[in-house]
Amino acid sequence: YMEKGSLRDVIEKDKDFGLCERYKVAFGIICGIIRIHEKGLVHLDIRPENVLIGNDFTAKIANFYKAERADQIQYLTSVAAKQYMPPEFYSYLGSDKEPNKSDIQKIDIFSYGLTLLEIFNGTHGRRNENEEFSFRNPIVVKKPSEYFKELVDKCIQQKVAARPIPEIVFSYMNKIDSFFRFVCREEEKKSLESFSYDERKILFKNTYELFINEFNFISEM
């Protein structure tokens, strides 16, 4: 349990869910994914319904019902939320094809990419639970987000090898976080927490645009 409920609740109902708060949640989720993978697990069901949010917009990944040990998966039998699963999930499902650890971890990265899109966009356009997805029926983002578009595109690549590993995604988000806090300290001479809601929104927008224009970390993925 956390005070604001699930990320789905916050996306749909919370009027205080501004740009800074959205980024904090997005960063918190990738931090959680890294910790899960460090424990040798894969979550296999990353989505807004399975992320809990605190009053200060701290994000914690919940619902480990589908989680597996990455090095012990011989085949997948559980169906998670289909609209958040990558194409290769269905080639593993119920077959004797044995996935490797790196490929399995990238299922969480695919789901993170769609969740990131929802955080900044409200939807990812793939909410029909009855729709079947495969390599022949790829995801199409109908409304790209103004923020993190390139990162989302990398995370939801059809080919597993084209997606970044979790550590690279974390490194990218961490660089933005450090840059954002640096701007707060150096230019404004105060901490991020001391800004008002509207000030943080403007500051994040300007800092994000500066970061994207000045640094090209996406090309390193």
> pLDDT, tens digit, for every residue of 180-216?
777 766 655 566 667 777 887 888 888 888 888 776 6
43 close to 108: Cβ distance less than 8 angstroms = yes
Res 138: pLDDT: 59
Q: Which residues contact 199 (CB under 8 A, 6 or more apart)?
A: none
**CA 132 to CA 31: how far, in whole Å?**
30
Give the max Cα distance, the chain: 58
Exposed / middle / buried, residue 196 (Cβ in 10 Å: 0-12, 13-18, 19+) = exposed
Higher-pLDDT residue of 111, 95? 111
Q: What is the pLDDT of residue 192?
A: 66
**Residue 131: is its pLDDT beyond 60?**
no
Q: What stretches of the chain adopt beta strand conformation (E)?
A: 41-42, 51-53, 59-61, 68-69
The topology under which CATH files domain 7-220 is Transferase(Phosphotransferase); domain 1 (1.10.510)
Q: Where are the domains of the chain?
A: 7-220
CA distances from 115 to 94, 120, 214 (A): 26, 9, 26
Say whether pLDDT at 156 is over 80.
yes
- Of 21-30, 35-44, 106-115, 128-137, give the lowest mean pLDDT range: 128-137
Q: What global pTM score does this model have?
A: 0.86
Tokens for 168, please give them.
């690279």
Greater confidence (145 vs 98) lies with: 145
Contact yes or no for 142/117 (Cβ under 8 A): no
Indicate if the pLDDT at residue 51 is higher than 60.
yes
Alpha helices in 39-100 (DSSP H): 87-92
- d(Cα 57, Cα 127) in Å, to the nearest integer? 24
Residue length of the chain:
221
Residue 137 main-chain phi, psi, to 5 deg: -135, 70
CB atoms within 10 A of CB 110: 23
Average pLDDT along the chain? 81
Look at residues 123, 87, 125 and name the one whose alpha carbon lies nearest to residue 106: 87
